[in-house]
Amino acid sequence: MSLLFVNEVTHSYGSRKFFNWKDRSKKVLSDISLSIEEGTCLGMLGTSGAGKSTLGKVILGLERPQYGQVLFQGHDIYTADKHARQKIRRDLQAVFQDSYSSVNPRMTAERIIAEPLENYEKLTAAEQKRTVVELLERVGLSEGDLKKYPHQFSGGQLQRINIARAISLKPKLIVLDESVSSLDMVNQNLILELLRELKEELGLSYLFITHDIKAAYTISDTLAVLEKGELIKLYDSKNQFFASEHPVVKKMRDSILAEHPRFRSIRTNG
Ligand SMILES: Nc1ncnc2c1ncn2[C@@H]1O[C@H](COP(=O)(O)OP(=O)(O)O)[C@@H](O)[C@H]1O
Ligand SMILES: [Mg+2]
């Protein structure tokens, strides 16, 4: 059984099901099926407006699709009973692009990271603080950062805090929606490296949503390409992706070949 199975999901915003026969609302997702195996990262590529974030929200339980199911460990996340839903909420976490708007500016790093623990774990104050310090250290920050506010951190540091919060409940799957897209190259690479380490250490799985083929290539095990709400292709491996003759994939790939000898050699060798 796959960790996550998305089954024939179709969605459009603001349409009224009862008037479907003359419903002109645009389909944002049409008939999407995909799966993510435990311990792997699925890279979801596509240009702006392709429907990537909508799919992320559907998978996170934030946007109920009009048609289709999202199964997490075999449970339909939209019809699961209360107990199962609670478990799914712990096991499914997210890190979004804009690290600043993801956090409450009036909360310290300590409170931001502790929030999920407060909601789901019954820790003593001392245990909770120790856990938060461990999480901070795990993402490359330190105890000295506990009392700092979001504006006292750089974008990269704040994204580390968002990652610390996301892993605090030891989830199974993290949806990363353009999580490194607003960072400079150096920080992008550092965060990707951190994500890769955490994946190995904690046995995490990722849905890595991005418009950036390089970032996707760095971290993904399998890849999917979304275009105008349609899943145009699924690839079981990076090599398959780079060997693909699909015009959309070729266009994405060609746009970076010139500047990256590494990709050029992949194309010529494979
Ligand atoms: N809440 C919303 N209400 C109406 N339309 C939306 C909403 N969110 C996104 N859309 C539209 O859905 C399409 C896909 O958006 P999105 O999922 O954000 O794509 P991506 O993340 O790939 O850029 C776009 O045309 C966008 O304008
Ligand atoms: Mg998006």
Kindly state if the Cβ of 12 falls inside 6 Å of ligand 1. Answer: no
CA distance 125 to 203: 28
Residue 239 CA, chain-centre distance (Å), reads 22
- pLDDT at 40 exceeding the cut of 60: yes
- What's residue 262's pLDDT? 60
Kindly state if the Cβ of 49 falls inside 6 Å of ligand 1. Answer: yes
**In testing the pocket of ligand 1, which one of 10, 12, 29, 53 has its CB within 8 Å of the most ligand atoms?**
53
3-state secondary structure of 164: helix
CA of 239 to the centre of ligand 2 (A): 25
CA of 29 to the centre of ligand 1 (A): 10
Kindly state if the Cβ of 53 falls inside 6 Å of ligand 1. Answer: yes
Half-sphere exposure of 8 (CA within 13 A, CB side): 2
Q: Which ligand is nearest to the CA of 46?
A: 1
The 10s digit of each residue's pLDDT in 5-38 is 999 999 999 755 555 555 556 899 999 999 999 9
- What's residue 14's pLDDT? 79
CA of 24 to the centre of ligand 1 (A): 16
Q: Which ligand is nearest to the CA of 55?
A: 1
CA distance 155 to 151: 9
- What's residue 19's pLDDT? 54
**Mean pLDDT in residue range 93-103:** 88
Longest dimension (CA), the chain: 60
- Binned at pLDDT 50, 70 and 90, residue 72 comes out as very high
**Mean pLDDT in residue range 165-191:** 96
Q: Is the dihedral of CA 257, 259, 260, 265 positive or negative?
A: positive
The residue ranking higher by pLDDT, 64 or 26, is: 64
CA distance 174 to 198: 11
Find, among 40, 72, 57, the residue nearest to 234 by Cα. 40
Domain 4-12+27-269 in CATH 3.40.50.300? The answer is yes
- Binned at pLDDT 50, 70 and 90, residue 270 comes out as very low
- What's residue 268's pLDDT? 46
- What's residue 35's pLDDT? 98
**In testing the pocket of ligand 1, which one of 28, 57, 177 has its CB within 8 Å of the most ligand atoms?**
28
The residue ranking higher by pLDDT, 251 or 75, is: 75
CA of 209 to the centre of ligand 2 (A): 8
Asked if residues 103 and 112 have their Cβ atoms less than 8 Å apart, the reply is yes
SS (H, E, C) 85-127: HHHHHHHEEEECCCCCCCCCCCCCHHHHHHHHHHHHCCCCHHH
The 10s digit of each residue's pLDDT in 120-168 is 998 999 999 999 999 999 999 999 999 999 999 999 999 999 999 999 9
- Binned at pLDDT 50, 70 and 90, residue 109 comes out as very high
Kindly state if the Cβ of 51 falls inside 6 Å of ligand 1. Answer: yes
